[in-house]
Structure 1
């Protein structure tokens, strides 16, 4: 495990990668762009490190000694909404990952360009910090309340959504997705429109990623007891937010 001390004002990226050449290449490029990094090579070390250093983002390899990236990601999502970029060595593996409830915000395939990964990191961090696109700001007000006794409320200022005051444990991507759906109840959004809203600068992300995010949203709404509020599938088109 290699840890760089975090300088004041610099964002800290945790790189979980057992290939030292890839880890060194990525961390060097991150340092060039003003980030501080911590690197660990064993999946068993990742969760304790996130608790210890509270990174701004995690770059997580799929195949790791100790435990794999899927297990790490699931454990992180039990207590943290830190943005996660999952890395795999196989293109076809991404399709499988998108169908799983991993909770990752993005996926990249090796061999990758460090420039591309840093661009994705910067995009996710901007959104996690509340830098929503101008289009999103013009489309809806800073606070959206779903009907039915104002039980479900989204707040752009804190990037949070609450059910009867209870904070939903959403990732940045899940927040943006549910926020958009809530802004127009009963309106049908296509997968392409939803994908463009949450990943508009990540052009090679499959639209099947939306299905995975919707699955996560449904699970979290159910866990919070959000009775009468649901995300409905519209066959062959996309999704709409429904309020009974």
Structure 2
């Protein structure tokens, strides 16, 4: 792991008052300038950071001591961001944001298809990066928050549609009683369709369900997530066909 300077604690951080749990962001990039600049910026926003200069080192650390979210560069030595994501997804649904260059659009689409939650194109603003991080963390914290209130009346009931069972409180999905591991973004997109089976949801509606209102993503992002959902369900049931495409309109879930 690369050492990055840590800003001194503010008076509010040292007065002994109880503080919310500090969320941790892992940065994986072979460019030390980016690691240092982004890490210091995130620390200034209240995040703890861990930084890694290559994918192989990062993979071991991410699995042994998972952060709340990870940010991967694509082009790196030893193990690039795509291979790192592929290896990570075999064992973890950790939220991941890709950093991509404008000439890496095919890699960007592939990353989304492999299970990345979002991507940001270089050069990027710190403000945009922080907004994307917070949007994803809000979504990923929702299952944890609802699970902590399982004895209250506000806990959402599981959604059962044919062979699908989707439990928002536990972030669990099964098909034919077989577990299906989804990222937070995939879970929210599926939930938006499953709560109203047969109703076509436009890409914009699915974006609204899965992303914060101040975050813009294009159509390709939603299409990539849908492809990933179908692939995951077909891994447990090759005949899965419950997600329908209405070309020019959007997607719907039908009781399987």
SS state at 1:129 partner: helix
Distance 2:41 2:67 in 1: 17
Match of 1:144 among 150, 153, 159: 159
Larger Rg: 2
**Hey, what's the Cα distance between the residues in 2 that align with 1:218 and 1:131?**
22
Q: Is the 8 A contact 1:163 1:226 kept in 2?
A: no
Unmatched tracts of structure 1, length 5 or more: 133-140
2-side partners of 1:232 and 1:71: how far apart?
30
CA RMSD, 1 decimal: 2.4
Name the stretch that deviates more: 172-181 or 184-193.
184-193
**Cα pair distance change 1:27/1:81, threshold 3 Å:** same
Shift in CA distance, 159/131, structure 1 to aligned 2, threshold 3 Å: closer
* Aligned residue number for residue 193 of structure 2: 181
What pairs up with 1:18-97 in 2 under 5 angstroms? Answer: 18-90=30-102, 92-94=103-105, 96-97=107-108
Answering whether residue 2 of structure 2 is matched by residue 2 of structure 1, we say yes
The answer to whether the 8 A contact 1:12-1:37 is kept is yes
- Stretch deviating more after TM superposition (23-32 or 194-203): 194-203
Q: Are 2:143 and 2:171, in contact at CA under 8 Å, matched by a contact in 1?
A: no
| Aligned partner (choices 162, 168, 176) of residue 174 of structure 2 | 162
Question: How far apart are 1:96 and its partner, in Å?
Answer: 4.9
Q: Contact 2:27/2:35 (CA < 8 Å) preserved in 1? A: yes
Instruction: Flag the 1:95–1:198 CA change in 2: closer, same or farther, 3 A.
Output: farther
In the TM superposition, residue 228 of structure 1 has moved relative to its aligned partner by 5.7
Distance in 1, matches of 2:61 and 2:117, equals: 19
Q: Give 1 or 2: higher strand fraction.
A: 1
Moved more, 162-171 or 10-19: 162-171
Aligned to 2:226: 214
Counterpart position of 1:114:
126
Instruction: Map 1:188-199 onto structure 2 (within 5 A).
Output: 188-199=200-211
For residues 15-46 of structure 1, give each alpha carbon's deviation from its aligned partner in whole angstroms, at most 9, with x where no partner exists: 00111111111111111122211111112222
